[in-house]
Amino acid sequence: MSSNNEQSITLPTGKTIKVNTGLFINNEFVDSIDGKRFETINPATEKVITTVAEALSNDVDKAIDIATETYVKVWSKVSGYDRGRLINKLADLMERDIDELAAIESLDNGKPFLLTKAVDIQLSIKTYRYYAGFADKINGELFQTESDKFDFTQREPYGVIGAIIPWNFPIMMQATKLAPILACGNTIVLKTSEFTPLSALKVAALIKEAGFPKGVVNILSGYGPTAGAAMASHMKLRKITFTGSVPVGKSILKASAESNLKKVTLELGGKSPNIIFADSDIDEAVKWAHMGIYFSSGQVCVAGSRIYVQDSVYDEFLEKFKKRAEGTKVGDPFKEDTFQGPQVSQIHYNKIMSFIEAGKKEGATLLIGGEREGEKGYYIKPTIFTDTNEKMSIMQEEIFGPVAAISKFSTVEEVIEKAHLTRYGLAAAVFTKDITRALKISKELNAGTVWVNCYGLYEPNVPFGGYRESGIGREGGESSLNEYTQVKSVQVHLGKFMF
């Protein structure tokens, strides 16, 4: 049923903002069918921000039924031009409310406000604008065959697509899913993480304001084992896209196989190697390596958590990297000089600390960090391990926190072999002034993205995804158009029966 779910939230700055906290279904914020709600916590203070409606399987059914009816009766008849116009209007509204969006994201996730505004929100807006331009340019191909026939293909939407996004980049992940899905002509049911539901609900209000028809976009706050599992096994969804951990990705793939063989796009974890050669600009390499592991509190799927440094410059790099890490400003996300905020939750804080303890027990040297920062909030000091080897858990598992593990290497062959000693293949980086070496190594690395003399850069027009257990499919660029449309071949015979 419909309900007044708008709640006032006071920011650390003293400003009060209003956020709708219901399930966004059919362009309305409604209570869940069972009336359940859950708390969302400010990770900087450990205090409750507010409560939001919790979606269960019956709410998932309701949202998918409405999205299905909307696709058939309304959205499938909207032109690409008009879809693009609506997506651009949403981007306009996000630009108008950029400070409020950044504040909500910082409050709910712990990201520094200024970085969130400059990076996360701006890239989200850029993503919407990029795909808005594609909405009326999704074309098939014409094939020259026999003289008395012609063949062509057309790209068609799936209909209703389910999307499940993580907590580490909530608003960016929402844009990464919504923008191409809508541009391709699908409707969507999107589930946010239980840790960070608020920014998606703010965007939902802007979707309604932009004029999207009822039922095109439906956004549910809920838990993976309930709402997420219901989506993964739902018989009316023909496609699901998920960003998150490898174990959950595998469970979604299994649910797809056991239900209706819905198509699946998975962007999963990483344990990315960052390779520093002796001929690189060491000062620049230090800056990028620091960004690669400590940005967003290390809660980044492509985090450069394994840093390999050529032996002849190892001591120099380590000294400078240690100094920069020790100078990292950790603290209140709403202070201007903060670079690293808290981890997203107590659960995740505990997980990171358990990996740090494992690193010490397995024989790695804890150079700096490895402990709590401050007395409240889920803060962890920037951490560096040395004397590591590829058998250690800190070199194998995705810690998803501000923990760097540094190793020496001597030769190209040695570092390539070490880089591949995990089950992941999401990203990698190479620092060298030798462009021939950089291109050769980029080709040899089993990773979906390789950065050269930089780290962690993202553009919405560039494909993104993983090799090996880091995922299936690609998002970003024109690749997303292939992920969210299906190809139909049409063969037209102009002559008489040939046999």
Extract the tokens encoding 3. Answer: 């309900």
Residues 6+ positions from 145 with CB-CB distance below 8 Å = 151
Q: First CA to last CA across the chain, in angstroms?
A: 62
**166: which DSSP letter?**
-
CA 394, 395, 396, 400 torsion: positive or negative? Answer: positive
Catalytic residue among 54, 100, 194, 267: 267
Q: Write the burial class of residue 330 (CB in 10 Å: 0-12 exposed, 13-18 middle, 19+ buried).
A: buried
Distances (CA, A) of 177 to 90, 128, 183, 207, 369: 14, 10, 10, 14, 36
Going by C-alpha positions, the residue among 286, 320, 315, 279 that lies closest to residue 408 is 315
* 267 among known catalytic residues: yes
Extract the tokens encoding 138. Answer: 């999704």
Query: Around Cβ 257, how many Cβ atoms within 10 Å?
Result: 11
Cα 451–Cα 443–Cα 130 angle in degrees, nearest 5: 50
Q: Position 324: which residue type?
A: R
CA 354, 116, 108, 166 torsion: positive or negative? Answer: negative
Angstrom distance (rounded) from CA 246 to CA 231 = 17
Angstrom distance (rounded) from CA 311 to CA 277 = 9
Interhelix angle 314-326/282-294, nearest 10 degrees: 50
Task: Map tokens 């700055």 to a residue.
Answer: 13
Angstrom distance (rounded) from CA 172 to CA 192 = 12
Angstrom distance (rounded) from CA 263 to CA 253 = 9
Concatenating the DSSP letter of every residue in 308-353 gives EEEGGGHHHHHHHHHHHHHT--BS-TTSTT--B---S-HHHHHHHH
| Cα radius of gyration (the chain) | 24
The CA-based dihedral angle spanning residues 467, 470, 476, 480, taken in that order and rounded to the nearest 10 degrees: 80
Extract the tokens encoding 449. Answer: 């993205």
Extract the tokens encoding 168. Answer: 């580490």
**Residues labelled as active-site residues:** 267
